[in-house]
Amino acid sequence: MRARTPEQEVIYFVLPDRFENGDTSNDTGGLKGGKLQTGFDPTDKAFYHGGDLKGLNARLGYIQGLGASAIWVGPIFKNKPVQGPKGNESAGYHGYWITDFTQVDPHFGTNEDFKALVEAAHARGMKVYMDIIVNHTADVIQYKEGVSQGYPYRSKADYPFSTRGGVKGPAINPGFLGETVQTAENWAKLTDPSFAYTPVVPKAEEDVKVPAWLNDPIYYHNRGNTDWKGESAQYGDFVGLDDLATENPRVVDGMIDIYGSWIDRFGIDGFRIDTARHVNAELWRKFVPAMLERAKAKGINNFHIFGEVATGDYDPALLASWTRNAGLPGVLDFAFMRAVDDAAGGAKDGGTETLARLFDDDALYAGGKAGAMQLPTFLGNHDAGRLPMFLKLGQPLASNDELLKRSMLAHAMLLTLRGVPTIYYGDEQGFVGHGGDQWSRQDMFVSKDLRLTDEPLLGTTRAPDAEHFDPEHPLYRLIAQLATLRRQTPALTGGITTVRAASDKPGLFAVSRFDPATGNEVLLAYNTSTEAVAGNLAVEPKSAQFQTLAGSTCPVKATAPGSVTITLPPLGFAVCAAQP
């Protein structure tokens, strides 16, 4: 298992709260009271629904049957159960509002339950990746000023570290040379955190964070809420979430200790890093090598680390900059998502020129095209929304049957093109959703949430509020088939890519990938149009005959040395292995 490199995996991403409820006794997390105290309300998409680690463990066979070899588990750390302004509260069911970085949230179970999950997965030859957060903690710190304005961001220029409450305020923190001088000696001179706002910790929450050093406001930026632009993207609070001063060596060392401990205690196989682009690059250049070293000490030589550099645009330059400037080994491939989703129908023109460009742009990443092989690729997620939702936006008149076929085509691309295919839980059961965030986090188990179950699913007649673990679903079967094929075909896990056909309109898109050891060609052809297509594709002159591996029937022989004629049905695909 641990001999497998990242690009040899197929990842299944799951939010434990929405997957399976294996222990109803922990639904309220051991808390008393109503939903605003316990965070539990299975009828409300903004609150805990009851899924947990025991439930996830019980469904490992279902995930493995899908062809997944690694499980990316949404954050499981103890969270602040409920936060938000009065009348607009929500719960930490998603796991991104951490108070205790050392233990599992009681809504999900215990540390022992997580240990059991990792051991059970490893026994099946499956890896476990943790979703981690370094950028922020739960919203605990409040500010004396700016309540009525909602704590707008206060910049370093207008509110420098050297004065309290603005440039004309009294002098504080004498000798502090700014956050770019990242030495313990310099940061010891920052003793007053009230340069922008005056931080206040409610008495009831003075000791809520673990480890204990996290309770001191001196380790936070305390500049108010980010507006997602410029300086505030790194120094601002995410809608109130306490933004850590990740330039401080004490914070860096503390985060290395926290997450190194999870490697030491549980032998996990990788990290997905939340909000990576909102942390200074210098931290990652220390954190990543420390984690890889910690993993190697446990015999985990292929520890997979990838960061979230979220963007809604096709922007590989942005993604690649974090592999070069911050030293992240990989990032979630939002460019792939945008290119494939648009090609499969998410864009009205349905052209494949952007998708064709993707492989040239791989040269931007650290390690070039080889480095791009370990980028997790995906079609939708818990923040942006699910693939069928994007397809419906691009094809508003499409029937559910057409949307299913488009989804199957996109999954065929996901599982045969370069990168590490990442399946978002429920996509294999035809979940659709009305949008991103809370609207894309449906229950796999029997649901009581009317807002998440008010639309038909793709590829099934099952009621939306029923249980959804059907191994006969057409998407499940397709993903399982192609995931198995991928593992058995070295060209699909590690082969370089040569584009054979692309267009600015829907139609034939094709690439060849090559076995790294033998050089044998695998031709991948996809039809993004609703009409049948036929055309000649360039291939290697030595590729004389072809074997059908998946999809539509491949031509038996090349039409001429260096050319083959391919025919595909509407929204069809073919995987053709050349036989010299």
Long-range contact pairs involving 470-473 (C-beta distance under 8 Å, separation at least 24):
470/429, 471/62, 471/65, 473/428, 473/429, 473/430
Q: Which of 9, 27, 105, 274 is catalytic?
A: 274
Q: In sequence order, what E strands does 65-166 have?
A: 70-73, 77-79, 82-83, 90-91, 98-104, 127-132, 142-143
Q: Are 580 and 529 in contact (CB under 8 A)?
A: no
485, two tokens: 């094929």
Specify whether 308 is catalytic. Answer: yes
User: Three-state SS string across 111-123, please?
Assistant: HHHHHHHHHHHHH
Q: Is 313 a catalytic residue?
A: no
Catalytic entry in 7, 9, 44, 308: 308
d(C-alpha 573, C-alpha 398), whole Å: 19
Give the gyration radius of the chain's Cα atoms.
25
Integer Cα distance of 316 and 404 in angstroms: 28
524 and 510 Cβ atoms separated by less than 8 Å: yes
All residues at 6 or more sequence positions from 280 whose CB lies less than 8 Å from its CB, including other chains: 234, 246, 247
Angle of CA points 261, 263, 267, to nearest 5°: 135
3-state SS class at 570:
coil
Adjacency order of strands within the sheet including 304-307: 304-307, 270-273, 127-132, 70-73, 11-14, 420-424, 376-377
**367 CB neighbour count, 10 Å cutoff:** 15
The residues annotated with a catalytic role in the active site are: 274, 308
